[in-house]
């Protein structure tokens, strides 16, 4: 992509999409196309085709998706599989039909089999049973990967697929009921600190290990892949190390400044026991992350305090009134 390329960032208001938009702007890209849901419903095939026919898009970064944590996946599995299938089918097909030069599709480390050998190589996809707690989302996303690969083989469409580890950072969703584990814990520790609660209860045993990548590093990796990666094979994107959920909770507790104790609800599911990815394919292209977990947590909590904390949102509402 050169600085004048016409680039469509699908999902620019989400965690990943907003970071990609920031990174593109920082890199000097000037012809960026964005549409919110009121302007373009990506689940509407006719609207998506008309958009691509009209806009002359050259490159697409497909970061739009319906996402959520274990609880959201369990409650809204039908929404997760339907909406993600519609979004990716419409965008990938319309992009190919309109002659887009290159498309980046984002998968997730949660697509890999529940008991995949660690660290997880890209070849492990579909090699074993999925984690049941996010199966509808995973099935949809695997279909998107397969679609990109099939369109490359049949039509010569230059689509690449990246598999991010767990992402976090500014712009995240902090609802304790529907968010992913890390932002959900930030919110719960923050609320407990303000309320003076003596304990915070976490789901599961705390023993599962997860790999976390700061979202601005992910955005940087996306631009790097658009310029330096061209293969039908999926590629893992992560820092290459992981942490137990219990240890992550302790880090977040310290970052927030909560002084109470942690307990575990063992009746709740753990999800994948471990999801550490092999990132040797990515690192071989010359890319490395820059932000440590400790620094990323500090930046994320600072952003939360300024933009998403309940007391901040209430103050903003009162000021507007």
Residues in the chain: 321
User: Has 229 been annotated as catalytic?
Assistant: no
225 annotated among ligand-binding-site residues: no
Spatial separation of the C-alpha atoms in residues 211 and 207, rounded to whole Å: 13
107 annotated among ligand-binding-site residues: yes
77 annotated among ligand-binding-site residues: no
Quick one: DSSP state of residue 265?
E
15 annotated among ligand-binding-site residues: yes
171 annotated among ligand-binding-site residues: no
Tell me the three state secondary structure of residue 38: coil
182 annotated among ligand-binding-site residues: no
14 annotated among ligand-binding-site residues: yes
Spatial separation of the C-alpha atoms in residues 99 and 11, rounded to whole Å: 21
248 annotated among ligand-binding-site residues: no
183 CB-near residues (< 8 Å, 6+ apart): 168, 172, 173, 174, 300, 304
Find the DSSP H helices in 229-292: 245-256, 280-283
Query: Which entry of 137, 168, 258, 301 is annotated as an active-site residue?
Result: 137
Contact between 31 and 4 (Cβ < 8 Å): yes
Spatial separation of the C-alpha atoms in residues 48 and 252, rounded to whole Å: 40
33 annotated among ligand-binding-site residues: no
141 annotated among ligand-binding-site residues: yes
Q: Residue 201 is inside which H or E element, if any?
A: strand 199-203
SS3 content of the chain, % helix, strand, coil (to 5): 45, 15, 40
4 annotated among ligand-binding-site residues: no
Tell me the three state secondary structure of residue 32: strand
Quick one: DSSP state of residue 240?
S
188 annotated among ligand-binding-site residues: yes
- Please report the beta strands in 47-151, taking only residues with DSSP state E, as ranges in sequence order: 59-62, 102-106
100 annotated among ligand-binding-site residues: no
166 annotated among ligand-binding-site residues: yes
167 annotated among ligand-binding-site residues: yes
223 annotated among ligand-binding-site residues: no
197 annotated among ligand-binding-site residues: no
40 annotated among ligand-binding-site residues: no
Contact between 272 and 208 (Cβ < 8 Å): yes
18 CB-near residues (< 8 Å, 6+ apart): 12, 170, 171
Instruction: Tell me which residue of 53, 157, 55, 29 sits closest to 105, measured CA to CA.
Output: 157
Buried b (16+ CB within 10 A) or exposed e, 263-286: ebeeeeebbbebbbbbbebbeeee
Residues of each annotated binding site for substrate: 188, 203, 210, 270
Residues of each annotated binding site for NADP(+): 11-17, 106-109, 141, 164-167, 180
Task: Give the active site residues.
Answer: 137
Residues of each annotated binding site: 11-17, 106-109, 141, 164-167, 180, 188, 203, 210, 270
């Amino acid at each position: 992509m050169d600085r004048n390329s016409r680039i469509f960032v699908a999902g620019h208001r989400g965690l990943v999409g907003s970071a990609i938009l920031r990174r593109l702007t920082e890199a000097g890209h000037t012809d960026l196309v964005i549409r919110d849901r009121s302007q373009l419903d990506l689940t509407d095939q006719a609207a998506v085709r008309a958009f691509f026919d009209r806009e002359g898009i050259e490159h697409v970064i497909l970061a739009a998706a319906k996402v959520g944590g274990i609880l959201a996946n369990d409650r809204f599995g039908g929404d997760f599989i339907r909406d993600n299938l519609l979004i990716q089918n419409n965008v990938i097909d319309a992009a190919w039909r309109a002659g887009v030069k290159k498309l980046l599709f984002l998968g997730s480390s949660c697509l890999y089999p529940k008991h995949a050998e660690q660290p997880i190589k890209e070849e492990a996809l579909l090699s074993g049973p999925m984690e049941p707690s996010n199966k509808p989302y995973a099935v949809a996303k695997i279909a998107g990967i397969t679609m990109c690969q099939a369109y490359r083989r049949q039509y010569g469409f230059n689509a690449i697929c990246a598999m991010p580890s767990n992402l976090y950072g500014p712009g995240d969703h902090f609802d304790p009921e529907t968010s992913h584990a890390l932002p959900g814990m930030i919110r719960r520790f923050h609320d407990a600190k303000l309320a003076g609660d003596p304990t915070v209860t976490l789901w599961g045993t705390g023993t599962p290990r997860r790999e976390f990548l700061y979202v601005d590093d992910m955005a940087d990796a996306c631009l790097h892949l658009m310029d330096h990666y061209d293969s039908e094979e999926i590629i893992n994107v992560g820092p290459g190390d992981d942490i137990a959920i219990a240890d992550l909770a302790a880090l977040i507790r310290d970052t927030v400044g909560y002084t109470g104790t942690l307990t575990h609800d063992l009746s709740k599911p753990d999800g994948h026991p471990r999801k550490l990815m092999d990132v040797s394919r990515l690192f071989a292209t010359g890319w490395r992350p820059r932000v440590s977990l400790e620094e990323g947590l500090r930046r994320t909590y600072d952003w939360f305090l300024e933009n998403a904390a309940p007391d901040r949102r209430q103050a903003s509402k009162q000021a507007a009134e």
